[in-house]
Amino acid sequence: MTSYLCAIGTATPPHRIAQPQIASFMAEALQFDEANTRKLRALYRVTGIGHRHSVLPDYGRANGDYTFFPNTPGLEPFPSVGQRMGVYRQQALPLSVAAAQDCLRQVPEVALSTITHLVTVSCTGMYAPGLDIELVQALGLSPNIRRTCVNFMGCYAAFNALKLAEAFCQADAQARVLIVCTELCTIHFQKNPEDDHLVSNALFGDGSAAALVQAAPAQQGPSLALTAFHCALEPDGHADMAWHINDFGFEMTLSSYVPRMIQKGIRKLTEDLLQKLPVKLRDIHSFAIHPGGRKILETIEQELGMSTDDNRFAYRVLRDYGNMSSATVLFVLRELLGSLTAADAGAPVLSFAFGPGLTLEAMLLQVQYA
């Protein structure tokens, strides 16, 4: 029995900040001299990011007007984990509700009372009673809904949520699964001048995406049939992408070797996904790739013989939002869904996401059109 991704909703915080403004904030926070500031601005220019969204207005302001970070040289005392989790508890719910409502508006035939499962995904905040329970109450979902939390898996976690949703639908043809991925990456800015941290600070933004999965396609417009999944690990990249809780927030390690690790494994990942399917790579012309960074997208294009236009949805999301961890690939899939017409029915779609481990996830979908 096939399961279908029927609708995707998205939401971002109100503070939309241009990449050069964020670079100015970072240079001042890190107390960089003129030479290092020029290097930092160059790094921000080559990311392919135009704007990012944040629940914090500070990244677009000057010292003296901050609302979260201290208005002091060096931002001392630097905000603690507790302060950052306070922002998460306050901001994650309204953003999640907005994404879920955007998703459900697209499938008016789906009554709230018929949603049987809720899967919440996040690696940027945790508390209990948590986001899952608050979403049930805020959306008016059944108190008997089956709740699952996918926590701290990073950028590929939406794939795990989709696998869960598929399993629920396989077990029960009446299952309707609402997935909500919410990430507030920008509350975890680390004041560290090492290259890995500078890269992380240059890429990540805040956002939420919600998806509805069920055992039947949507009654109108396009849906995506969940056809196959495949996961692989590149242990040599174990230390190149990591996410740890420290005294001043969650600390991301993202080394320049990540694209090289993905280059090493992406072709085999694709071959392993497709080997038992009646689909060849040459048959695929639609892609939804997690834009972990511009270099990652370029590396995959080179390895799989893709064009920049093949990757246009990923570049568009990277430009407008940056990397929002688990929510990002759903933003890309939403862009793709919005481009589909009845002429695309039956077309295969290849999707990838990557995260700590180094984990490489692949998914094949097929366009359905009602």
Active site residues: 155
- 263: number of CA atoms within 13 Å, CB side? 13
Name, in order, each residue with C-beta under 8 angstroms of 18's C-beta and a sequence gap of 6 or more: 50, 51, 60
Provide the 3-class DSSP secondary structure of residue 70: coil
From the list 356, 275, 268, 273, the residue with the least C-alpha distance to 304 is 268
d(CA 198, CA 39): 11
C-alpha torsion sign, points 317, 65, 44, 181: negative
d(CA 78, CA 83): 10
d(CA 121, CA 162): 11
208 and 11 Cβ atoms separated by less than 8 Å: yes
Segments of the chain assigned E as strands: 3-11, 15-18, 51-54, 117-122, 146-151, 176-184, 206-214, 222-233, 241-246, 249-254, 286-289, 348-355, 359-369
288 and 313 Cβ atoms separated by less than 8 Å: yes
